[in-house]
Structure 1
Amino acid sequence: MPFLPDSPALVAGHGRAVLLTHGGEAVEIRPGSVAKQLGGAVPLLVHGPATLKRLGNPAVQVLDLLELFAFVCPARGLAPTPAGLARALEMEVPETLEEGARLLAPMAEALLARLAAGKNVPANQDAAGLAARMGAAGWGWAPYVLAALGQPAARPDGMAMRLWKRLPKWEESAPRPPPSAFAVTSGQARARLATLLGPEAEQRPAQADYASAATAAFEPRQAEGQPHVVLAEAGTGTGKTLGYLAPASLWAQQNKGAVWVSTFTRHLQRQIEQEAGRLPEGTKVVLRKGRENYLCLLNFEDAMGVERYAVPLGLVARWAMASADGDLFGGDLPGWFAELYGHGLLAQIADRRGECIHAACPHFSACVIERVIRNAREADLVIANHALVMAQAVWGGLDDDYVPTRYVFDEGHHIFDAADSAFAVELSGAAMAELRRWLLGAEGARSRARGLARRLEDFAATDDAIKRTLDAALLAAKALPAPMFSTRLDPELESDKNPAEAFLRALRVQALARGTEAEIKGAMGFEVDLHPIDPGILPVAAALSAALEKLRLPLVALRQRFLERLEAEAETLEETSRQRLEGTARSIKRRAIDSITAWRRILDGLAAEAKPGERPGRIEFLRLDREAGTDRDVLLLSHLLDPTEAFIETIARPAHGMLITSATLRDGTDNETAWEGAEARTGAAHLAAPAIRAAFGSPFDYADRTRIALITDVNTQDMGALAGAYQALFQAAGGGGLGLFTAISRLRAVQARIAKPLEEAGIALYAQHVDAMDNATLVDIFRAEEHSCLLGTDAMRDGVDIPGNALRLVVFERTPWPRPDILHRTRRTHLSGGAPKDYDDAIVRLRLRQAFGRLIRRADDRGVFVLLDRQMPSRLLSAFPEGAPVIRSGLAEAVAGIRRFLQG
């Protein structure tokens, strides 16, 4: 057995922590005295940041078992708790803090034994040299890892971290021919679905009917600009994923083309990928995200020069060799990795700065991003997300102007919000400063940011036209906000020599003039209307527009020079030079020219104000951003009134077929008004030809398996009463509760009051915005620990998929009315059809449907939905499934009823 450190073990809960001493005695440890009680010993624990945060963040060294797990089992996830680690190692799961502390050393032994057993496998060929390199940087696990590998005296080996020499190389292939357009018949889709399900599967007629209806999206297009669009609502439990994968995979197979499946969340992307594993052998499925999600080898190499990064980069190196696709965010790198070392590190080693030099990169042939892009070009199914599909549609095509002909938009109820983000324009100090940094690189600060001159220095050295236009662009870029611009937002602190900063100062004056007294004196940022605009802003805006045009013109000329060379030197250019010229021309347009053009369109249109009550094409307003009461930025935001018009114009009309599906497309039952609302929210109302409508109810027996409780006697404005209600409800359910909040401050107030008493009752409580973990990690823990509870906001309402007993209670703190901001005010006025109240109600009902849909994910699930708002109008109850019992009662009666129902 490998030698283990003679270390104590530390497990922390809420208000209570246990230290297992050298002698095996379990003693309670108190916040504020951690270092003294440890006496210089280095404790074993699981998830150092979360554990130490609960103890007041003492400055002590620790041995985190998650680091050891990441080294021994790279590219594998687990819930980052002692119980989660025990499950991953197939050991008995601890139920108390004391049991967890006693299990830490055996779990460390198990991990080291696993490493020792596999020390001769190829994946561990360089493990000893890598561990020694990490040990030289202070990694506490290094001696024990080296002992397990049988090489206690191994020397640090920097080669083990040089991923570009170890990762497989990708190769270019001929462009894929365009697909044919043969239809998929209903019978074919049903037969494929039956094959995917297998002979022993439960018969679900609605699923087969759904697959049949989806085939209409794969018919040959009959007229230009008129795609076949199917709107299909599939109630929870219908089995819509396999329902659309069946016809989609058939179409791709027989037409030799790709179907792009787009969803809203990363989590559902991975779920769809797992379901696609049932497809026939040979079906090529690729999960595709934006470049900023993937490991960049050049940025990784840069980061290797920073000694404090040696340990996390060593673990990243282990992960990269085992990863399926190099996806740093939401892929097979555990979400808790960033929590251990900070999210900034992953941002540095991803392609987040838009500085890719493409074929000029020395690691281009091993680039994981380029490999994923090329794999997607040859795929049958590409599983993407709404943000990627819409952003690249704005740029004119996916992956070098490739435009798919067939789409499936899952989570179609999010199309409006996704399109709103994609087609909005932000003119702010941060956005302009980011463009300056992209063009000029680091300016005096210690940074590895490479400016455009450095990225193009070899081209500029041999091409005078490139050098002239590049020099002109870089000179003009100095009109953008300089570093630390936020310290110069006050007009009294700086002159107006920089036109961008002068514009920001003018906007700030108007924001402060239009804000309320509470907003002006408050610590939080706020929004105000742009129009009617202060006349003093117009000349400053005109000066900034002129400065931006001086920047745009040389960038346009620079891009044109690259395109000219591509044409003139087509026969002599080497492949790497051609790819680099194409990539740089594309980047200049997307990162600079398009942004500048959009900003100038806003600036030049400021004087043209819509009249009161007139329907605007865009909604423009100001936001003053603050941090801890200090002004950090001023944003001029421009949103389309109806962003689904742009979605239809840029994505739907060029396509041949599109399926838009969700469990919550409609607000209401099968009637014309409900469908019209669905068409408005998805953009189908803007199609030249009407969409095909299809709806399939849930197979679940909601009358038997669910209850809806509306609590009538809790004053939710009293934090003590609100917290008491949450505690009583969670204890009645014995855990398995998801608490949803409309405000972070209220969530934190409740968490602070109930965490300790719940823990004393054997119920662990986790909370978004409180625990040192991101949303994905919190959901993983909640899913794994059946009797835990979780508090969260909107992201938890829409992003949690937990079948089984782990989620059996959903508690909503109040009716989720839409935020009464400027965007919503304008849209409810002009998109409500003259019924703004109905517009608000529809949003609330859809949110309630989404929240209720978290409860029942399988036929044998049982759950209760609780709303603590005694003022919820009865007209909103149609959000819930027909037949689901709704009970208005006091808290005490509800607690007793919940206990009986869930136990029964």
Structure 2
Amino acid sequence: MPASPPFLSPFDAPALIARRGLSSILTPDGELLDLPAPQTRELLRSLPPPLLIHGPAALKALDLTPLSQPVPWFDLLDLFLFVRPAQTIAPTPRGLALALGLHPQKTITADFLPTLCEALLSELNTKKDAPEGNHLRSLLLPLQRSGWVWSDIISDVIGPPSTQGASHSYESLRIWKRLPRWEEEAPRPAPSSYPVSPIKARERLRDILGEHAETRPGQADFSSVVTSAFEPRETLGAPNVVLAEAGTGTGKTLGYIAPSTLWAEENKGAVWVSTYTRHLQRQIEQELHRVYPNDTVRREKVVVRKGRENYLCLLNMEDMVNTVTSRGKDATASLLPLSLLARWAEKSRDGDLMGGDLPGWFGEIFGHGSLAAIADRRGECIHASCPHYQTCFVEHGIRRARRADIVIANHALVMAQAAWNSLTPAHLPDEDTIPSRYIFDEGHHIPEAADSAFSIAFSGLETAELRRWLLGAEGSRSRARGLQRRLDDLIERIPSIQKPLHAVLNAARVLPAPGWSARLKEKTSPSPQPAPENLPATEETETLFPLDLPAPPQPENPSEIFLKLLAHQLKARTAEHPSSRSQEYFSNECDLYPINPPLEEHSELLAQELRQLLRPLEQLSQQFEHQIEDNDEIDSTLRQRIESTLRTLHRRAISPVSSWISMLDSLQTPPAPDTIPTYIDFIRSEPLPQKQSPHQSFDIGLYRHWLDPTIPFVSTIQTPAHGLLITSATLRDQPQNTSGEETWHAAELRLGATHFIKPPIRASLMSPFDYSKQTRAYIITDVSSEIASLAHAFRSLFSASGGSGLGLFTAIRRLREVYKRIQEPLETEGIPLYAQHVDAMDNATLVDIFRTEIQSCLLGTDAMRDGVDVPGDALRMVVFEKTPWPRPDILHRERRKLLSEGRPSEYDDRITRMRLRQAFGRLIRRSDDRGVFVMLDRRMPSRLLSAFPEGVQVERLSLTDALEHIKEFLN
């Protein structure tokens, strides 16, 4: 699609709805056409740039080459961002129409796009005389200079660009000057411990639901059970623990919200609700609208908390604005996303870039680098010394959370906080108030989240990142700030930190220097294998570790030597793959023990060098602590600055270096045979992102995971916690011929509940759905694992259901191959097909589209298997490409051997059944839903069928027979 001269109005432009089958085009002379992709491409060459929705997706659908920003088309999503900057929508014609209150026909054609454009411009017209009108006109100036195609049209609606009252031409981008400031308040007293009665919990639930709400059997019982987690704690370190399995459709979210809000109100404390996914965080926040319908009250009572890397950093934003200002015309391409981000930030509830009110498709349209550049992804926050500290979105959230009733967090943040609190000196107050009551929704993911939170990795990426955090960019194009720059203000006031700081900076050179990955590849390469397609390049990684840096000759440091020795052992102990000539690398791994002698010898030297880094880090920490302890006259601002620096220093440097030393020291004493180890140690290599490198490079590392990761989870959380609820629709496995006691015992072992001092209370509430009437399940007996056979099956099944199908894959390569074969035929039938790892959209956006476009189909992997809530006709079929057995890696092998209680095959079956239960749970979300579950793996054993709810009819049929049954059942 070549660039054409600009023109005045989108209403004079052709309109385009690009599809992989027949695209819809409205020509400038009013002719409406349905054309296949080749003819569409040919016609677009002779037309002006079109009016469309989601330009990058349109290019991809038509197999056109992406163009640089700013793009020459009229993208209605750009206009929507300007008119409604903090509202998420599905980026499709139907999604935009529903957001604007329009009711489109079942099949939308290109002649509907001018209607959407007119509706947006009409809404914009109402803002020109409103209080925000002047601000919108001031924002037009940078937008116009960026070459944005909408700027002249918007200027005609609201008036020309204006800098009235501004001290700078780009004043509209300086949002930190206009954002609200927080003020310190007296600390909130510790909550009291009065219980919540089951009767009051039921009454609160009834009030929340209202008179005309759908009655859900078991929901009130669930609320009653949850109250046990709010009983007063009787013994230190022995919280009240409730394990509650609530079948799909029970209504567990409002079921636990009812007693939670009661306890918070009566005891003046916060309940932390933890989930596994950002998507569910957003769902829970939406449910709380029913409890607190008033926006102001809800903002006071409810706070969503995530890690700092999810939020807009105002200091990074200021850096970008200054860069754009100083570079002039050379930076105009950055002005468009920066201007629209400024527009969003002033309307955003909390500045959440990832899963908040910034549309998930922003990065797809304007480049994910624009988001990575303004988020705190390097751990460089300077806290109280930041000039924007009192307008910071993160600091606002932290302070709101201290006074909120409900804090919606995620497992990763909760466990990281627990780990940090156990490692940080006790006299340092945490930035977040430590809660006493927790609710872990999606509780079946606790072991997985704990495994990630409490593992240790000495890898090229991890160690080079710490060096960058300590020393800064070291001459690269990155804006990374080193430790000295972050402590400049404190050095002047506390001269005693100068000496240990210099010692830290000198000792940090033991860590891998810039260009380490190139040197590692030159000297030692592990067995090349096909690159995994489930490792997407991230802007964060590319910014932190640019792979195109030169590798200048210099003495090798101990860390790089250690990494090369790891790579040597890995290469020696893994088989070479037949496709090694591809020069790509797969995630490869081998056991650490028996360890190669050179690696063992060098680990001792490296541990000594790391102690030379740890010692001045601890001395620096001690100097700061002395200031707090010995100086009674220190002002509160400086005290806050020092305390935040201490916390960061411990979490970011002292803790990881201490862990690395401990791991390296243990290499000198291998685990004794015939003993159950505490940890699992292994070597692993992974490919690095290659967008900035012409040649594939790899990372290598020594990894340590807990054999049972729930041990550190329980040990860190049971002392501060007074009560915990762990709930999910799939807490327990349901193998055949197994008693309820056995299933609960297995669940407690897996979730770590046996490590709590006080035995948990168990509860199980059945799903209210009639699965025998609402569902069918089929195992197809004549589909092979060949791609052609799979593709034929997926196409036939999705056609039979009329769309509304979710396809789940165990391998990304197979997903992509099937997608290539079926997307055009399906879209020709009017069934849009979307796919994770194919479409340039994040998972949340894909799910939003799937939910909105009710005839569409979606292909995905395990991220789509859990936590996707798509009720109604948008999801009527789930198709599994293959039995989801656990991946046979080293971690699984060791846990299977040591945690299976002598039944390793049952251990595998349990994991697989739980995955099947989660996938089946996507199918029926309401009492009037109907759905079909299809397994294309004819080898799936019957012993796994107990994964399905009682009453589900499971039949083994040929594809032809199954298609007839499905058509009859669904229609």
| SS of equivalent to 1:384 | strand
Alignment of 1:606 with 2:667, yes or no, is yes
Task: Determine the structure 1 residue equivalent to 2:544.
Answer: none
**Structure 2 length as normaliser, TM-score?**
0.90
State yes or no: 1:482 paired with 2:513: yes
Using the TM superposition, give the Cα deviation of residue 832 of structure 1 relative to its aligned residue in structure 2, in angstroms: 0.3
In structure 1, the residue matched to 2:955 is 887
- The answer to whether residue 465 in structure 2 is matched with residue 434 in structure 1 is yes
Q: Does 1:101 align with 2:167?
A: no
Deviation of 1:112 after TM superposition, in Å, equals: 1.3
Please, which moves more after superposition, 342-351 or 759-768?
Answer: 342-351
Separation in 2 of the partners of 1:225 and 1:574?
36
Give, in whole Å, the separation in 2 of the partners of 1:519 and 1:265: 38
Superposed, which structure 2 residues align to 1:20-169 within 5 Å? 20-26=26-32, 28=35, 30=37, 34=41, 37-39=44-46, 41-58=48-65, 60=67, 61-93=72-104, 96=107, 99-151=108-160, 157-169=169-181
Tell me, in whole angstroms, the C-alpha distance in 1 between the residues paired with 2:123 and 2:461.
Answer: 48
Q: Give the corresponding residue for 2:335.
A: 310
Q: Please list the CA deviations of residues 672-699 of structure 1 after superposition, one character each: whole Å capped at 9, or x if unmatched.
A: 1100111012110111221110000001
Q: Which moved more, 1:350-359 or 1:491-500?
A: 491-500
Shift of 1:799: 2.9
Give the Cα separation in 2 of the matches to 1:613 and 1:115.
73
Deviations 1:25-56 (A, max 9, x none): 34547559948843472222211111112233
| Inter-CA distance 804–33: structure 2 relative to 1 (3 Å threshold) | closer
Q: 1:154 and 1:689 mapped to 2: Cα distance?
A: 65
SS, match of residue 396 in structure 1: helix
1:611-622 alignment to 2 at 5 Å?
Answer: 611-622=672-683
Deviation string for 1:614-639 (max 9, x for gaps)? 32111111111225783421021110
Equivalent runs, 1:763-778 vs 2, <5 Å: 763-778=831-846
Q: Does 1:200 align with 2:212?
A: yes
CA contact (8 A) 2:20 2:37 kept: no
Which moved further from structure 2: 617-626 or 659-668? 617-626
1:74-116 Cα offsets, whole Å, 9 max, x none, are 11111111222222223343555xx532222222222112101
Amino acid at match of 1:381: I
Give the direction of change, closer, same or farther, for the CA distance of 1:40–1:496 in structure 2 (3 Å limit). farther
Q: CA deviation at 1:428?
A: 0.4
Q: Which amino acid aligns with 2:284?
A: I
Q: 3-state DSSP class of the match of 1:365?
A: coil
Q: Say how many residue pairs are matched.
A: 898
SS state at 1:623 partner: strand
Aligned match of 2:685 = 624
| Distance in 2 separating the partners of 1:73 and 1:379 | 28
CA distance in 2, matches of 1:123, 1:869: 58
Moved more, 198-207 or 392-401: 392-401
| C-alpha deviation, 1:287, in angstroms | 1.1
Q: Which moved more, 1:231-240 or 1:104-113?
A: 104-113
- RMSD, aligned CA: 2.0
CA contact (8 A) 1:813 1:869 kept: yes
2:753 equivalent among 684, 688, 692: 684
Question: More displaced, 724-733 or 544-553?
Answer: 544-553
Is 1:450 matched with 2:481?
Answer: yes
How do 1:280-359 and structure 2 match up within 5 A? 284-304=301-321, 305-306=323-324, 307=331, 308-359=333-384
Measure the CA separation in 2 of the matches of 1:407 and 1:23: 62
CA, structure 1 residues 815+722, in 2 after alignment: closer, same or farther (shift >3 Å)?
A: same
* 3-state SS in 2 of match to 1:233: strand
Of residues 874-883 and 105-114 in structure 1, the stretch that sits farther from structure 2 once superposed is: 105-114
Percent of matched pairs sharing the same residue? 55
Matched with 2:598 is: 536
- Cα deviation for residue 704 of structure 1 reads 0.6
Taking a change above 3 Å as real, the CA distance of residues 778 and 401 of structure 1, as seen in their structure-2 partners, is closer
Query: 1:851 Cα shift?
Result: 0.3
1:150-204 CA distances to partner (integer Å, 9 max, x unpaired)?
2267799411111111111111101111111111111111111111111222333
Residue 386 of structure 1 corresponds to 411
Corresponding residue of 1:651: 717
Shift of 1:288: 1.0
SS of 2:291's partner is coil
Cα-to-partner distance string for 1:272-307 (whole Å, 9 max, x where unaligned)? 111122226757111111111111111111112232
The range that moved more, 315-324 or 870-879, is 315-324
Cα drift, residue 313 of structure 1 = 1.4
Distance 2:846 2:657 in 1: 40
1:805 aligns with 2:873: yes
Mark the CA change 1:687 to 1:317 in structure 2 (over 3 Å): closer, same or farther: same
Secondary structure of residue in 2 paired with 1:516: coil
Deviations 1:342-382 (A, max 9, x none): 22221221122111111111111111110000000001111
Long gaps (5+) in structure 2: 1-7, 325-330, 423-428, 525-550
Residues in 2 aligned to 1:872 and 1:658: alpha-carbon distance in whole angstroms: 37
Q: Report the equivalent of 1:404.
A: 435
In the superposition, relative to structure 1, how do residues 753 and 176 fare at CA in structure 2: closer, same or farther (>3 Å)? Answer: same
Structure 1 29/577 Cα, relative in aligned 2: closer, same or farther at 3 Å?
farther
Structure 1 gaps, min length 5: none
The question of whether the paired residues in 1 share the 8 Å contact of 2:137 and 2:162 is answered with: no
Cα drift, residue 16 of structure 1: 4.5
| Structure 1: distance between partners of 2:260 and 2:419 | 25
**Contact 1:130–1:157 (8 Å) recurs in 2:** no
Distance of aligned partners of 1:662 and 1:130 in 2 relative to their CA distance in 1, 3 Å threshold: same
Superposition deviation, residue 663 in structure 1: 0.4
- CA 1:747 to 1:612, structure 2 compared with 1: closer, same or farther past 3 Å? farther
- 1:408-807 equivalence runs, <5 A: 408-489=439-520, 490-491=522-523, 497-518=556-577, 521=580, 523=584, 524-571=586-633, 573-626=634-687, 630-668=696-734, 671-715=740-784, 717-807=785-875
Alpha-carbon distance in structure 1 between the residues aligned to 2:778 and 2:56? 38
Matched AA of 2:19: G
* Paired residues of 1:503 and 1:537 also in contact (CA < 8 A): yes
Residues 238, 756 of structure 2: 8 Å contact kept: yes
Query: 1:125: how far off?
Result: 2.9
Give the aligned partner of residue 869 of structure 1.
937
Whole-angstrom distance in 2 between the partners of 1:41 and 1:894: 48
Q: Match of 2:655, SS? A: helix
State the Cα distance separating 1:569 from its structure 2 match: 2.6
Secondary structure in structure 1 of the residue aligned to 2:951:
coil
Is residue 210–residue 243 contact of structure 1 (8 Å, CA) maintained in 2? Answer: yes
Partner of 2:261: 249
Alignment partners' CA distance in 2, 1:287 and 1:4: 39
Q: Distance between the aligned counterparts of 2:43 and 2:220, measured in 1? A: 65
Structure 1 residue 543: Cα displacement? 2.2
C-alpha contact 1:465 1:561 (8 A) present in aligned 2: yes
**Residues 593 and 520 from structure 1, CA distance in 2 versus in 1: closer, same or farther, beyond 3 angstroms?**
farther
1:844 paired to 2:908: no
- Residues 189 and 338 of structure 1, relative CA distance in 2, 3 Å threshold: same
Alpha-carbon displacement from aligned partner over 1:438-483 (angstroms, at most 9, x marks no partner): 1111111112111111111232234332111111111111111111
- In 2, the alpha carbon distance for the partners of 1:31 and 1:426 equals 50
Cα deviation, residue 670, structure 1: 6.2
Offset of residue 221 of structure 1 = 0.8
Tell me which of 886, 891, 898 is aligned to 2:966.
898
Q: Is the 8 A contact 1:479 1:547 kept in 2?
A: yes
TM-score (norm 1): 0.96
Q: Contact 2:134 / 2:162 at 8 angstroms: preserved in 1? A: no
Deviation of 1:602 (Å) = 1.1
Mapping of residues 167-246 of structure 1, within 5 Å: 167-246=179-258
Q: 1:541 to 1:297 in 2, by over 3 A?
A: same
SS at structure 2 position matched to 1:247: helix
